[in-house]
Amino acid sequence: MKLGIVKESRDPRVAIVPDTLSKLSALSVSVIMEAGAGDESFFSDNDYVGATVLSRDEVLKQADIIVTFNPLSQEEWKLVNQNAIMISQFAPFADAEAVPSLLKEGKKAFSMDMIPRTTLAQSMDVLSSMASIAGYQAVLVAAAKLPRYLPMLITAAGSIKPSKVLILGAGVAGLQAIATAKRLGAIVEVFDTRMAVKEEVQSLGGKFIEVEGAKDDKSAGGYAVEQTEEFLARQRAEVQARAIKSDIIITTAQVRGRKAPILLEKETVNQMRAGSVIIDLASSTGGNCELSKDNETIVVNGVTIIGNSQLPAQMPQDASFLYSNNVLNFLKTMVREGTLHADFNNEIIKGACITPELFV
């Protein structure tokens, strides 16, 4: 069985890293690759020992499994072998056209971002792999932009107060941001609507701020549910009181399949101290800050607002390493001795397959 990887368009990450090749070989899967596929993640073709380097078109034509980080363009689907399967992140939650287009073209697809977030599937959870990098990067990007220190310092020239970091949303990204900001010596305050994260926040050294009356639903699979407008207004007022005293705000609050809630209003930003930094990791789903613009950095009243949901792409080597492992662990559930056995009674396979109609 041949697994194909190609150079990603507009993304420095690569779907499979050299380390994974020997593990794929144990499943009787060989790798064919486009020349330079790993270059931007700093993996050279020579690092892929045992892989066959071909033209992009040949990889698409010959592969039984095509693994990409972002979906191929629809024009390229036509080059892919009709019996091949594509593994990528099709984001059907955000892109309503993804599944109908695949079905129309008769392309079998598994979407890594649809793998259920259960204990059994933890090693395949690409959302967690990338969110964790995003939280870490968010603190580093903010710290580099901030015209002030994060830690408290007592120097001969005077004392520096520690910076305050406010984190909105304590999912995977938020928790990693707390840990990173604490390591840099900041004081960290945190909001989340899920009370389940309170202890985790506290164990990382963050202060958990409670807003009464949040809706929580155990049947949402651990995800947050949409809150009432009345609750959000109360929350915004609470957030404002903390935000105007914060040096850095990192927003990560998302509700799966919905627009992100607005938690930081224009008036709040206007009252923040000049030089402060906001990183909006939810910008691709509308953003948590009223002013943020996706993929843009703007400055309002001296406050820098960075709207970026793609921060993991700025750390491509480890991001690729983690994605590659996530894919390998997923393949282990359905590849035996170089043959695909997609058992749809397996919750992980069932969840990830977005075109089950094409498997009957």
Residue number, 4 or 174, with CB nearest to ligand NAD: 174
From the number of C-beta atoms within 10 Å of its C-beta (0-12, 13-18, 19+), residue 81 rates as middle
The whole-angstrom separation of Cα 20 and Cα 32 is 13
Strand partners, 209: 191
Q: Cβ of residue 263: shortest distance to ligand NAD, in angstroms? A: 6
Q: Torsions phi, psi of 127, nearest 5?
A: -60, -40
Is residue 149 among the annotated active site residues?
Answer: no
User: Which one from 56, 117, 183, 256 is the annotated catalytic residue?
Assistant: 117
Tokens of 278: 């906001």
Is residue 328 within the footprint of ligand NAD (CB under 6 A)? no
Residues in 256-315 at the binding interface with ligand NAD, rule: CB under 6 A:
256, 261, 263
Pairing mode of beta strands 339-340, 303-307: unpaired
Task: Figure out which of the listed residues 125, 189, 247, 280 binds ligand NAD, where binding follows CB under 6 A.
Answer: 125
Q: Is 191 an interacting residue with respect to ligand NAD (CB under 6 A)? A: yes
Quote the least distance from Cβ 165 to ligand NAD, whole Å.
15
Q: Which span sits near ligand NAD by CB under 6 A: 62-70, 87-95, 185-193, 340-348?
A: 185-193
Per-residue mark of binding to ligand NAD, 95-114 (x: CB under 6 A): --------------------
Active site residue 117: yes
With CA atoms as reference, report the closest residue to 105 among 143, 68, 140, 78: 78
Reply yes or no on whether 39 is catalytic.
Answer: no
Tokens linked to 66 = 């095509």
Residue tagged 């220190």 (tokens):
149
CA–CA gap between residue 61 and residue 354 (Å, rounded): 22
The two tokens of residue 307 are 């709207």
CA distance 187 to 202: 12
Q: Which residue is nearest to ligand NAD (CB)?
A: 171
Which CB, 51 or 279, lies closer to ligand NAD?
279
Interface with ligand NAD includes 117 (CB under 6 A)? yes
Q: Give me the catalytic one of 64, 125, 247, 280.
A: 125
Which residue in the set 114, 127, 178, 348 belongs to the binding site for ligand NAD (CB under 6 A)?
A: 127
Q: Are 53 and 30 in contact (CB under 8 A)?
A: no
Binding ligand NAD (rule: CB under 6 A), the pick from 181, 253, 278, 348 is: 253
Q: Does 227 bind ligand NAD (CB under 6 A)?
A: yes
> Which positions from 138 to 177 touch ligand NAD by CB under 6 A, shown as an x/- string?
------------------------------xxxxxxx---
Catalytic: 223?
yes
Stretch that binds ligand NAD, among 25-33, 122-130, 305-313, 332-340 (CB under 6 A): 122-130
> Distance (Å, rounded) from C-alpha 24 to C-alpha 331?
9
Cα 233 from Cα 274, distance rounded (Å): 25
Identify residue 101 by its one-letter amino acid code.
Answer: S
Instruction: Quickly list H helices, the chain.
Output: 21-25, 56-62, 74-77, 98-105, 126-145, 172-183, 198-203, 229-243, 266-270, 316-332, 347-352
Which listed range, 27-35, 148-156, 216-224, 342-350, lies at the site for ligand NAD (CB under 6 A)? Answer: 216-224
Per DSSP, the three-state class of 3 is: strand
How much is the CA Rg of the chain, to the nearest whole Å? 22
Instruction: Compute how many residues bind ligand NAD; rule: CB under 6 A.
Output: 32
> What distance lies between CA 7 and its chain's CA centroid?
20
Q: Which stretch binds ligand NAD (CB under 6 A): 97-105, 121-129, 202-210, 319-327?
A: 121-129
Whether residue 10 lies in the annotated active site: no
Residues labelled catalytic: 117, 122, 125, 128, 223
Residues that bind ligand NAD (CB under 6 A): 117-119, 122, 125, 127-128, 131, 168-174, 191-194, 197, 222-224, 227, 235, 252-256, 261, 263
